[in-house]
Amino acid sequence: MSVIRLVLADDQALVRGALAALLNLEPDLDVVAEVGSGDQVLQACIDHRADVAVLDVEMPGLDGIEATNQIKRTLAGTRVLIVTTFGRPGYLRRALQSGADGFLVKDTPAKQLADAVRRVHGGLRVVDAALVADSIATGESPLTARETDVLRAAVGGDTVAAIAEKLALSEGTVRNHLSAAIGKTGAATRAEAARIATDNGWL
């Protein structure tokens, strides 16, 4: 049985290097490349003939989910394992829709990471059970595309006028979209709506 070739992507150099050290302890695993942004992932997988890509979701440039899309379109044989800080239901949903083979949060015990890589490499799905329950309970985003745009523009604490200018809309329209988003999220203010949407991975 040959070794499993891994590509590692995480924007935090220290965490990336540490994960590499952890995985290289396993005799049957070999980290062949490390990258710090999503747009380098695909090329690294091609150059180093990776068997499994271990990706963080939060990354500059291309995020882990878009990188998964790229890999799955181009390299049918390469498996993808998403490892992320935030166990947001929306992340899991989008990751699986992008074709990810596994999804772990960084709360997972370190000993289980190598096993997860092996399972994914063997063609199995690896997904945190608690997160699946959350994901089902939460459902997908109730927000329409435009409501999402407006709410995303509102997270910084901008005024309605500023949002309207950013998106080239009238203030009234912005208020209507925000009102709809507030209603759908069950919030009382747009700040709360933004927080709820962020926590669920809808933005």
Partner DNA sequence: GTTTCATAGTGACGCCCGTCACTGTCAGAG
Partner DNA sequence: CTCTGACAGTGACGGGCGTCACTATGAAAC
Sites of contact with its own copies (CB under 8 A): 11-22, 25, 83, 85, 104, 106-111, 113, 156-159, 187-195
Q: Shortest CA distance to 177 belongs to which of 155, 203, 202, 146?
A: 146
By the rule CB under 7 A, 190 interacts with DNA: yes
- Judge contact between 32 and 50, C-beta under 8 A: yes
Residues 50, 47: Cα–Cα separation, whole Å: 8
Residue from 19, 92, 100, 182 that binds DNA (CB under 7 A)? Answer: 182
DSSP category for residue 62: S
Nearest distance in Å: CB 105, its own copies: 8
| Residue 104 contact partner, candidates DNA, its own copies, none, CB within 5 to 8 A by sort of partner | its own copies
Residues 155, 153: Cα–Cα separation, whole Å: 6
By the rule CB under 7 A, 28 interacts with DNA: no
By the rule CB under 7 A, 159 interacts with DNA: yes
Per DSSP, the three-state class of 108 is coil
By the rule CB under 7 A, 161 interacts with DNA: yes
| Residue 145 contact partner, candidates its own copies, DNA, none, CB within 5 to 8 A by sort of partner | DNA
Name the residue type at position 131.
L
Number of residues that bind DNA (CB under 7 A): 22
Q: Find the binding residues for DNA in span 46-105 (CB under 7 A).
A: none
Measure Cα distances from 150 to 117, 177, 187 in Å: 38, 7, 15
Q: Which is nearer to its own copies, 11 or 134 (CB)?
A: 11
DSSP category for residue 36: S
Return the residue matching tokens 């950013």.
Answer: 166
- Judge contact between 140 and 90, C-beta under 8 A: yes
| Residue 178 contact partner, candidates its own copies, DNA, none, CB within 5 to 8 A by sort of partner | DNA
Nearest distance in Å: CB 64, DNA: 25
| Residue 106 contact partner, candidates its own copies, DNA, none, CB within 5 to 8 A by sort of partner | its own copies
Strands 52-55 and 4-9: parallel
By the rule CB under 7 A, 175 interacts with DNA: yes
Q: Where do contacts with DNA occur on this chain (CB under 7 A)?
A: 144-147, 159-161, 169-173, 175-179, 182-183, 188-190
